[in-house]
Structure 1
Amino acid sequence: MRRIGAVLLVVALLLDGFGPARPASAQGPVVSRVLQLTRGADRPLPTTLWYPSALTGRHPIILFSHGLGGLPQQFAPLVAGWAEAGYVVAAPAYPHTNARVRVDRRDIPRQPADAAFVIEAVRALDGVPGDALAGHLDIGRVAAVGFSAGGTTTLGLFGPGHPSYLRAGVSISGRRPSVEFGGSAVPLLFLHGDRDRVVPIRAGRQAYALAPPPKQFVTIPGARHGEFLRPGDGRYPRTAGRILAFLAANAPVA
């Protein structure tokens, strides 16, 4: 019955959740492509995928969430680095908080459900005949990373009853989620600049205080709101390396 259910989920996604996909483009060792996902008529979720161009074995999934008025492509250098390390990265553009719409911050509490939907859609690609990712996804190892409102979205995935395949979470400059933490303990990493005026560091510390262990809070001295995620910033290499090391320790590539 589980096998039949999995097949039906794949068929349902192919019929209802996916629109036409943009052609894949190779960027050296990394391939990117866009899945036209949707979770209901008013919740389009175009999702950019980055993954290794040479796929062998199975690769864990990372769900990345942008902030208010953001887009996945703004974080391409960071997430492409994860893909080079062997991860499959899925980054949706959230329907009411991305750069191409009038931003409605009231929609943030709905985004964890969007993120969960995207994770399931990407996991289902492992069983879609002919897809480049078929047979190459480690569907039992998923991590979630997010910046600002995306950090809050990420933390919202770790509520009561969250799936066991969620192995790690990273909140960068985020706030506490609208739901309580719950379910099995999952390692969480919090990063926050101590001069952030958009999301003050005290908001990040409040989220950290509510999260169950194991957890770690990293203060980035002198940093404001996320400039340390840009490759031109002097703190970028250390920050990117710290995030990747955390992911590798808790959702490792086999």
Structure 2
Amino acid sequence: MRVQRLVAALVTALLAGCGPATTAAPGPSTSQPAPQRAYAVGMRQFVVDPGGTRPLPVTVWYPVEPAAQPAPAATAPGPALTRLAAPAAAPSPGPPEVRPGAPVAAGRFPVVIYSHGLHSLPELHAPLTTRWAAAGFVVAAPTYPRTNLRARDFSRADVRNQPADGWRLIRHLIRLDARRGDPLAGHLAVNRIGAAGHSAGGFTTAGMFTSGHPARLRAGIVIAGGGLAGSFAGPVAPLLFVHGSADPIVPESVGRAGYARVLGPAAFLSLPGQGHGEYLTPGRPGFAQVLAATIDFLRWTLYDDRAALRRLPIDAQLPGTTALTSRLPR
């Protein structure tokens, strides 16, 4: 009973101020190695179950071929923290080129479900999610019905329903991948799916990893969040936690408690002295390390890129800015 009261209290603290299932047969595997260069990014929006009781608007960012550019003059190498893979060229430190409605690049790409926090929207997380798409992932971000910035009937308690919304979106994407004529058809590696989210979205992400979840959900990233009742059960999937040590909304101890509950490979990236998410803003301390660590983690778990796993401890750490605790394989 004490544990249940503690979980309820933690969720209440979370919801006070967040800022910006059945097992199916495996789908087609990604048939290409992890990308060695950055993509431009396409964007598409649709609504899952528009006539249902919980319509779910979704923003999707996905890899597209960049527009032809003149050959650049020779320059010094970019920072190692932003590279995609050795010996790949470093991507631009600026935001990726986004082209709404552009055709998806050739190939199949792993999928990441990204969940926003309270009083937030998918587009407020675009500095992170578009860079993931440029790294070779399809990022699908739902706008949750009762916790988004524009919700007319806002309800903190509705977070408990959002893991099911995430799975509803996954099922919809599986159908789109098989739907002839859909722009995403044949481009989604629907047996290689990750989930990620910030704050209430981090709790939502954890809530998708309950006992017996389909094995197609292969990895999770919990940013400024923690676990819900039943989280982090099998099948085993690697988890990466990202948390500011001075977070006033969700204390770092909540994230570390979730990290301690993970049965399989896990890592915890702490940002000393930082709060609830300023490290998700380009140019702020820690952004480069969070971006590099999350891309390394997704490349390892969703592309089976062992080189990315080896890079992750190096890319994630900058003395005085980040600190990594890891139970990842070597």
Which residue number in structure 2 is paired with residue 11 of structure 1? none
Q: Kindly indicate whether residue 174 of structure 2 is the aligned counterpart of residue 123 of structure 1.
A: yes
Contact 1:68 1:103 in 2 (8 A): no
Amino acid of the residue matched to residue 43 of structure 1?
R
Contact 1:186 1:213 in 2 (8 A): yes
| Greater relative CO, 1 or 2 (CA 8 Å, sep 6+) | 2
- Calculate the aligned-residue CA RMSD, in Å: 1.9
Which residue number in structure 2 is paired with residue 153 of structure 1? 204
SS in 1 for 2:171: helix
Amino acid of the residue matched to residue 60 of structure 1?
P
Paired with 2:211 and 2:113, the residues of 1 have a C-alpha distance of: 19
Shift of 1:157: 0.8
Alignment CA distance shift 1:180-1:241 (3 Å)? closer
Which residue number in structure 2 is paired with residue 196 of structure 1? 247
Which residue number in structure 2 is paired with residue 109 of structure 1? 160
Which residue number in structure 2 is paired with residue 61 of structure 1? 111
Which residue number in structure 1 is paired with residue 299 of structure 2? 248
1:22-37 mapped onto 2 (5 Å cutoff): 29-37=40-48
Paired with 2:288 and 2:301, the residues of 1 have a C-alpha distance of: 20
Instruction: Give per-residue Cα distances to partners, 1:76-128, cap 9 Å, x unaligned.
Output: 12111111111111000001100001431111111100001111111221111
Paired with 2:150 and 2:207, the residues of 1 have a C-alpha distance of: 24
- Give the one of 195, 201, 208 matched to 1:144: 195
Shift of 1:176: 1.5
Amino acid of the residue matched to residue 127 of structure 2?
P
Amino acid of the residue matched to residue 152 of structure 1?
F
Shift of 1:35: 1.1
Paired with 1:216 and 1:129, the residues of 2 have a C-alpha distance of: 40
Instruction: Give per-residue Cα distances to partners, 1:24-52, cap 9 Å, x unaligned.
Output: xxxx8111011111387331210000001
Contact 2:127 2:280 in 1 (8 A): no
Paired with 1:193 and 1:243, the residues of 2 have a C-alpha distance of: 15
Paired with 2:304 and 2:226, the residues of 1 have a C-alpha distance of: 29
Contact 1:65 1:146 in 2 (8 A): yes
Paired with 1:199 and 1:33, the residues of 2 have a C-alpha distance of: 32
Structure number with greater Rg is 2
Shift of 1:249: 0.7
Shift of 1:180: 3.8
User: What is the aligned length?
Assistant: 229
Instruction: Give per-residue Cα distances to partners, 1:162-193, cap 9 Å, x unaligned.
Output: 11111110000002213243221100001110
Contact 2:206 2:231 in 1 (8 A): no
The structure richer in strand per residue is 1
Contact 1:68 1:148 in 2 (8 A): yes
Q: Kindly indicate whether residue 52 of structure 2 is the aligned counterpart of residue 41 of structure 1.
A: yes
Paired with 1:188 and 1:80, the residues of 2 have a C-alpha distance of: 21
Displacement over 2 Å in runs of 4+? 38-42, 178-181
Identify which range, 112-121 or 203-212, moves more after superposition.
203-212
Which residue number in structure 2 is paired with residue 78 of structure 1? 128
Question: What TM-score do the two structures reach when normalised by structure 2?
Answer: 0.66
Q: Which runs of 5+ in 1 are unaligned?
A: 7-27
1:82-93 mapped onto 2 (5 Å cutoff): 82-93=132-143
SS in 2 for 1:251: helix
Paired with 2:190 and 2:240, the residues of 1 have a C-alpha distance of: 22
Paired with 1:31 and 1:107, the residues of 2 have a C-alpha distance of: 30
Contact 1:142 1:167 in 2 (8 A): yes
Paired with 1:41 and 1:56, the residues of 2 have a C-alpha distance of: 34
Contact 2:208 2:231 in 1 (8 A): no
Shift of 1:195: 0.4
Q: Kindly indicate whether residue 111 of structure 2 is the aligned counterpart of residue 100 of structure 1.
A: no
SS in 1 for 2:131: helix
Identify which range, 122-131 or 63-72, moves more after superposition.
122-131
Paired with 2:304 and 2:183, the residues of 1 have a C-alpha distance of: 18
Paired with 1:82 and 1:181, the residues of 2 have a C-alpha distance of: 24
Paired with 1:178 and 1:103, the residues of 2 have a C-alpha distance of: 22
Which residue number in structure 2 is paired with residue 135 of structure 1? 186
